[in-house]
Each structure stands twice: as structure tokens, then as C-alpha cells.
Structure 1
Amino acid sequence: MAGSSNDSSPDPAIWLCPQVHASIATPPDWLINTEIHTAARLSGARRQEYLSSRWLIRQAISGASGRPPDSCRPVSGRPVATQSPPGWTLSLSHSHGLCACATSRGGALGLDIEPARRHPQWQKVVKRWFTSGEQSWLLESDDPTHFLMVWTLKEAWLKATGRGIAGNLKTLEVSSDFRLRGDQPETDWYASCCRADGFLVTLVFRAEHPDTAPVIHRFPGPPADLGLASGKPVKENAEPLLFRRIHPCHPLKE
């Protein structure tokens, strides 16, 4: 379970940074081998996004653990946990030039971010993938922000529970008053959603009696050389939209 981490940051926490825009010809020397190989296969904006997210991961681990960022690194492969220092869970998300990383002292978590104004043809998504109850109230309310909140909640839930989208979007059901019911039996699942910097930022996590929603920190952005020593985060002025428990309901029924 997640608990209080240390004096560096509340637990869990969310860390944001904009994507670096400079062309980076030589990867930074702090990348691990799998990251070097991945970066070598990418180009242009996709490469910049990838390297920015790896910079942010190290800054987030540092901010959460109190360790210097040059001694922080994720596990090889998908960055879902820390290798150094050990014991931290990670979740990464990036969209339209913004990178985000969530940290927790060992508790499961899933993070999703989406531009607050991104909602093309959202009704088709609702009709095809959501539960009948969700379809009813979302199509009646005709509010794209409601749709985006539900979508990010489902995405974050699936990341936190270690599943993909295919066949699993109905494992979390959201009612019209935003009560949340999930297919996991534990009673310590929580969800937080806020609006920050023009994005919806949604985190699903496990914790014992969290007092407040996760704190969001923002870095001004990676430097052009992706140096790790320059990260100085500030607390983001976020607009809270939702913070509540996900109640177990297994199995979910239509």
C-alpha cells in the first residue's frame, strides 16, 4: 500500500513538464541501455517527447525520494517502477506536448492526461465502448468535459490494474453523479481528477485513507541539453474536479 513517502513530497504525487523543442542529436549519457536503443529508433517530435519523458521520470523520482536526479532511474523496459532508489511505483502519460509522471511509495497507480478541449466525435466512443448506464447519462448531458473525465478515469484505472483497453473499458463504471464502481475487490482504490495547464490530469491509486488529492508539481521544462541538475519544480495551481473512492462491485453488470 502507498503511505507517506518523506518530507520531499506527499504520496502519491504527480509531476508535469512540457516537451523539449530543441533537436537532440546526441542522447544524454544518463539513459539506460534500453532507453538508448528506443531513442535511436525515433525521430523528430516523437524522439523529443520520449527523451523529455525520460528526463521527467528522473526528476519525479528525485522529487519524491529526495535523491539526486542523476542517481535516479526506472526499471528497464516499461517504466512502471524504480530501479534506483528501489521501492517506488511509476505511471507515465504524455499528450500534445505535455509529459506527466506519477510516483507512489509502492502502491498501484495509473495516470492519464488529455487536453481539456480534446473531444472529437466522442459520442461514437461512448456508444461503442461504454456501459449502457454511461451511454444514457453521457449522451443526455451532451457535455464533452464529462466524457473526457470518464475516459481518463477509465484509462487511469486500466493502467493501475495492469490491463489494456481492449475488452476492459467497462471494468470501471461511472455514474451521472460520478460515483465510481470497479471490478477489483479491494476497498482502498481512489481516483483524482483535476484541470491543470489546459489538461485533464487523472490519477487512480491505492492508498490507506488519503487525506487530500495528490499534489501536482510542474517543471519549467527540460533544458536543451537535457541536463538533470536543472530541474526545479513548483506546485501547480490545479482546479480540482473529483477526488473519491472507487467502490468494489464484482462483477460489473450491464
Structure 2
Amino acid sequence: MGSLLPRQFSDRDPAPRPDLLTIANGEPLVWAVPLPTADVESVEVEEGTLSGAERERASAFADPAGRARYVVTRLALRRLLGGLLAIGPARIALGTAPGGKPILLSETERRIEFNYGHTDGLALIAVAEGLPIGIDVERAGRRRGDCKAIATRFFSNEERRFFEQLPDEATFLSLWTRKEAVLKALGTGLAGGLDTFSVVGEGRWLDEVECGGNFYRMRALAAPDGYEAALASRTERRR
């Protein structure tokens, strides 16, 4: 299965139109959002666009660059959801599910699911109509020294054997992003247990995996050079 290519989106791009959801016909839509570099200390925000909770969380960042990346990601998320739902970005109501997954609280005629992930320099935002989704992105070079230790401790037996055949960072990140995307779609995040399922079988990548009583379709994303990313979406099939 080929990699899915995210659409590019920045503050200079127009928000998507609602008919894009109809055209997608249930398939997830994914956008790549460039994030500020380390030397950016602030981001201009139109008054009232972010919620009180978002402003409070942003102010809690000790690192100005981290604060800027958080703000840019949330602004992009609001613009994307607002465009797809024909609602002003400031009117989008966002919340958090018990497991920590961000959710849409705005009352709409469409059942919108979304998820996002971010790392140094890049955020990926996924939106779908109907079934839960999860997305993860990682930047290469951040885990180079502890890939083997993490794989040994947290991966399934099948995944550990797979990693041992090609024990490099690219293999590790491909495994990690698929697993975290599934757990984010499930709604538990890493608390759901990285070793409770396997994204490989018989020495090859799986297209679908069972987790938490549901089945999830997994796809690699065509991320920019230096990044690994994956998307997981729940299917109709149940155990």
C-alpha cells in the first residue's frame, strides 16, 4: 500500500471548503503544517480565536518556541475544522475525552473525528467523517541512542524480531509511529499499551491490526525528509 501524501497548509492558505468532506467519502484528510523554528518566540493571534483553556495552556509553556508551536498548531486546527464545517475558527468548541484524546464539542450535522501530532518543525492534522482516527509524526535523530532499549522494553515479540533484522532508526520510527497512531485512534494514547498488539506479522508490515476490540487500518504518510509519520483509522469490522 502506497504512502498517503498530506496536503500543505499554512496561515497563507485558504481554509478548506465543506464539500471536501463529501468528496473524501469517509477517507481521512491529512494536512502538513510547518511549525516555527527554535528562534521564533511569539505568534500573532487574533483576539478571541483561541479559547481560554488554550490561552492558559500556551502561557504555561516555559519555552517560548514551544509555546509558538502549540499556538500555530491549534490555530491551524481551528481554521481547518472551521472551513470544513463552515464555522468561524473562534466558534469551534474543542474538548478532551477521558483518555486524553482531543475531540470536537461543536454541534454539527456531521460526525467529525480529528487528530493531530507534532514534532520539531512540523505538525500533521487528520480529519475524517465517521470513524475514529489517530496520527503520529516523529523527527529523525531524536531517539537515535535509545531505539534498541525502547524496542526491547515496549514492543511486541514480533516487532522486536522485525527490528533486530534491520536495527536502524528508520525502522524504529516506522514501528513507533504506526503503534502510536493506533493508540491515539483508540483514544488511550500510550497508556493503552504498546506491547498489546503488533503492527508487523510474519516479517512484513500489516495493513490492519486489532486493538481494544476494534480493527484499525494503518498507512504510512509521505512526510518530508527527516520525518516519519503514520495514520490509523478504525474500520467497521469488529472482533
- What is the TM-score normalised by the length of structure 2? 0.74
Determine helix, strand or coil for the equivalent of 1:84: coil
Higher relative contact order by CA 8 Å / sep ≥ 6: 1 or 2? Answer: 1
Tell me if structure 2 keeps the 8 A contact 1:60–1:102.
Answer: no
1:142 — aligned with what?
Answer: 167
**Alignment partner, residue 183 of structure 1:** 211
State how far apart, in whole Å, the 1-side matches of 2:66 and 2:46 are. 14
Q: In the superposition, relative to structure 1, how do residues 142 and 76 fare at CA in structure 2: closer, same or farther (>3 Å)?
A: closer
Ranges in structure 2 where 5+ consecutive residues have no aligned partner = 1-16
Matched residues in 2 for 1:17 and 1:155: separation? 20
Quick one: which of 95, 114, 117 aligns to 1:93?
117
Change (3 A) 1:39 1:172: same
Indicate conservation of the 8 Å contact 1:56/1:100, yes or no: no
1:7-86 mapped onto 2 (5 Å cutoff): 7-9=19-21, 10=24, 11-20=27-36, 21=40, 23-24=42-43, 28-43=47-62, 44-63=64-83, 65-70=84-89, 73-77=92-96, 80-84=102-106, 86=108
1:147–1:71 distance in 2 versus 1, CA, 3 Å? same
> What is the Cα deviation at residue 98 of structure 1?
1.0
Partner of 1:131: 156
Q: Which has the higher helix share?
A: 2
- State the AA in 1 paired with 2:175: V
* Identity level (%): 24
Equivalent of 1:195 in 222, 229, 233: 222
Partners of 2:93 and 2:230 in 1: how far apart?
22
Contact 1:107 1:205 in 2 (8 A): yes
One-letter amino acid matched to 1:14: V
1:144 shift after superposition: 2.7
CA deviation string 1:75-107 (max 9, x = no partner): 234672223363311212110121221111131
Scaled by the length of structure 1, what TM-score is found?
Answer: 0.70
Does the 8 Å contact 1:157/1:172 carry over to 2? no
1:243 alignment counterpart: none
Question: Given the superposition, is the C-alpha separation of residues 15 and 79 from structure 1 closer, same or farther in structure 2, using an over 3 Å criterion?
Answer: farther
Work out whether 1:160 is the aligned partner of 2:172.
no
**Which residue in 2 is equivalent to 1:204?**
232
Distance 1:151 1:191, change over 3 A: same
Aligned residue pairs, count: 205
1:80–1:89 distance in 2 versus 1, CA, 3 Å: farther
Structure 1 pair 171–79 and aligned structure 2 pair: CA distance change class (3 A) = closer
